[in-house]
């Protein structure tokens, strides 16, 4: 039998051995990552790399910049086929330059202070960066403000979207086009089982898009996210409303406070064995409706990567579009970026000459089909800003999105830096 002092000596040794073992395990798994800026300067850029196989079961990590010793927030992304680690470049990394980091597993849970949070108030999913509101997704049905036209009630869209100053930059149920709701996704002209459907304008009574279910939500030090399910219905089917498309949105918001940056990935699948034909049409698809003041005062404009505006940009094919104007005398705007992986990239756009809305609309180039077993996937990035942005800054945002910096593992060694 151990004496009292011997017992405590054994316990202390066990604790020290446990700490030593955890340290060695972490050191053994540590890797050195090299980040290459590529052809563009990088600053406040999202970076992501697949986790080494030996690290894929770990939940938390530390990331240390080797030239400064500074530890950066990191977060694991498990939505991809294989887990990835994501962080945000802070200080500028010039084109052609590289930077090294040490990545190691840790048992310490990251602080949630000043991170991105996603909460559900029963009607909306509310996204915040720190204490700043970024956007709300409406999963409950928002009733039509016009009791004479209840058809405009809608669920399954994003509104409001805020700028970093706290101003709302989107609009909903505007009297001139009550079927336009913040950020939404709907096809204007489709054919399903020989019947013409329209999920864009509810008043037509032939189609409808609705929220179905909140699949998941979560936050973290680098990004917050939610996944929701929607459904497109054919309201003209002989036996009553019939599901046409099952849709999933994955929305991710990054931890930027000077500008708000979020991604939307939409995956549309045939709800049954019938295909959907998206007919040729000059509008329909992912859409955003801008602030009501921009409509009232006609003081908004668009700017594209081609330098086009609301006077000459309609039906052009830009990689990004900046919609901007003053709200309460303060300039603000929102950039929407087209992903190179999208069908018919760069997609044509409907830039309205006197209403602050636009949409990416691939159907402009002709009809296409969504077939059973072949999902239709669309990806877009949004950046909401205060003040003025300009073409050069918007182009940098798109390059960060479409052609991000590369990361590779350059060393696997115990305690190596």
Position 11 pLDDT exceeds 50:
no
Same domain, 262 and 294: yes
Residue 393 lies in a domain: no
Q: Is residue 392 part of a domain?
A: no
Together in a domain, 106 and 166: no
271: domain CATH number is 2.70.98
Q: Work out the percent of the chain whose per-residue pLDDT is above 70.
A: 92
Whether residues 42 and 173 fall in one domain: no
What are residue 230's DSSP bridge partners?
211, 247
Residue pair 343/367 in contact by the 8 Å Cβ criterion: no
Residue 126 vs residue 17, higher pLDDT: 126
Q: Return all residues near 115 (Cβ < 8 A) that are at least 6 apart.
A: 73, 129, 130, 219, 220, 221, 222, 224, 255
Is residue 153 located within the same domain as residue 65? Answer: no
Handedness of CA 256, 257, 261, 264 (dihedral sign): positive
166 and 105 belong to one structural domain: no
pTM of the model: 0.91
Domain count within the chain: 2
Statement: residue 32 has pLDDT above 70? yes
Residue-level pLDDT at 59: 87
CATH code for the domain of 63 = 2.60.40.1180
CA–CA distance, 385 with 163 (Å, rounded to integer): 6
Contact 171, 161 (CB under 8 A): no
Check residue 29 and give its pLDDT.
Answer: 80
Residue 398 lies in a domain: no
Do 56 and 120 lie in one domain? The reply is no
Are 84 and 205 in the same domain?
no
Structure confidence at residue 109 as a pLDDT band (50, 70, 90) = confident
128 & 44 share domain: no
CB atoms within 10 A of CB 264: 18
67, part of any domain: yes
Beta strands in 98-203 (DSSP E): 98-106, 116-120, 124-129, 132-138, 157-161, 183-186, 190-192, 195-197
Dump pLDDT digits (tens) for 183-206. 999 999 999 999 999 999 999 999
Same domain? For 211 and 240 the reply is yes
* 95 lies in the same domain as 127: no
Nearest CA among 157, 113, 111, 117 for reference residue 133: 117
Q: Who's near 65: CB < 8 A, 6+ residues apart?
A: 71, 72, 99, 100, 101
Nearest partner of 386 among 257, 279, 265, judged by Cα:
257
Could you tell me which residues are beta bridge partners of residue 119? 126
Whether residue 86 is contained in a domain is answered as yes
Residue 13: domain span: 4-110+408-412
261 & 127 share domain:
yes
Q: Is there a contact between 285 and 336 (Cβ–Cβ < 8 Å)?
A: no
Same-domain status, 120 and 106: no
pLDDT in tens, 191-249: 999 999 999 999 999 999 999 999 999 999 999 999 999 999 999 999 999 999 999 99
């Amino acid at each position: 039998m151990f004496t009292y002092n011997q017992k405590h000596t054994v316990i202390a040794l066990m604790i020290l051995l446990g700490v030593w073992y955890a340290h060695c395990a972490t050191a053994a798994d540590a890797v050195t990552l090299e980040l290459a800026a590529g052809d563009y300067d990088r600053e406040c850029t999202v970076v992501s790399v697949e986790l080494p196989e030996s690290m894929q079961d770990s939940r938390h990590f530390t990331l240390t910049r080797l030239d400064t010793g500074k530890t950066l927030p990191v977060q694991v992304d498990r939505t991809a086929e294989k887990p990835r680690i994501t962080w945000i470049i802070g200080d500028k990394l010039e084109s052609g330059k590289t930077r090294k980091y040490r990545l190691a597993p840790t048992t310490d849970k990251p602080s949630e202070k000043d991170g991105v949070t996603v909460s559900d108030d029963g009607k909306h999913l509310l996204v915040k960066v720190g204490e700043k509101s970024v956007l709300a997704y409406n999963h409950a049905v928002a009733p039509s403000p016009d009791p004479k036209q209840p058809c405009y009630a809608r669920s399954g869209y994003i509104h409001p979207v805020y700028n970093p100053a706290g101003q709302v930059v989107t609009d909903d149920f505007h009297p001139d086009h009550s079927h336009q709701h913040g950020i939404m996704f709907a096809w204007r002209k489709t054919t399903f089982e020989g019947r013409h459907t329209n999920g864009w304008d509810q008043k037509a009574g032939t189609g409808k898009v609705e929220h179905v279910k909140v699949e998941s939500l979560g936050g973290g030090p680098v990004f917050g996210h939610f996944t929701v399910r929607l459904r497109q219905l054919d309201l003209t089917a002989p036996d009553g409303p019939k599901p046409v498309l099952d849709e999933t949105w994955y929305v991710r918001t990054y931890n930027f406070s000077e500008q708000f940056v979020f991604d939307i990935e939409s995956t549309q699948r045939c709800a049954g064995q019938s295909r959907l034909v998206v007919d040729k049409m000059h509008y329909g698809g992912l859409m955003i409706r801008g602030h009501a003041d921009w409509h009232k005062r006609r003081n908004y404009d668009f700017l594209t990567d081609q330098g086009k505006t609301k006077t000459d940009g309609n039906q052009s094919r830009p990689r990004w579009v900046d919609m901007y104007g003053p709200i309460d005398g303060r300039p603000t705007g929102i950039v929407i970026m087209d992903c190179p992986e999208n069908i018919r990239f760069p997609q044509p756009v409907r830039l309205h000459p006197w209403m602050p809305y636009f949409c990416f609309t691939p159907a402009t180039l002709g009809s296409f089909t969504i077939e059973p077993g072949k999902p239709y996937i669309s990806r877009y990035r949004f950046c909401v800003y205060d003040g003025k942005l300009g073409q050069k800054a918007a182009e940098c945002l798109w390059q960060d999105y479409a052609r991000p910096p590369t990361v590779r593992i350059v060393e696997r060694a115990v305690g190596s830096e």
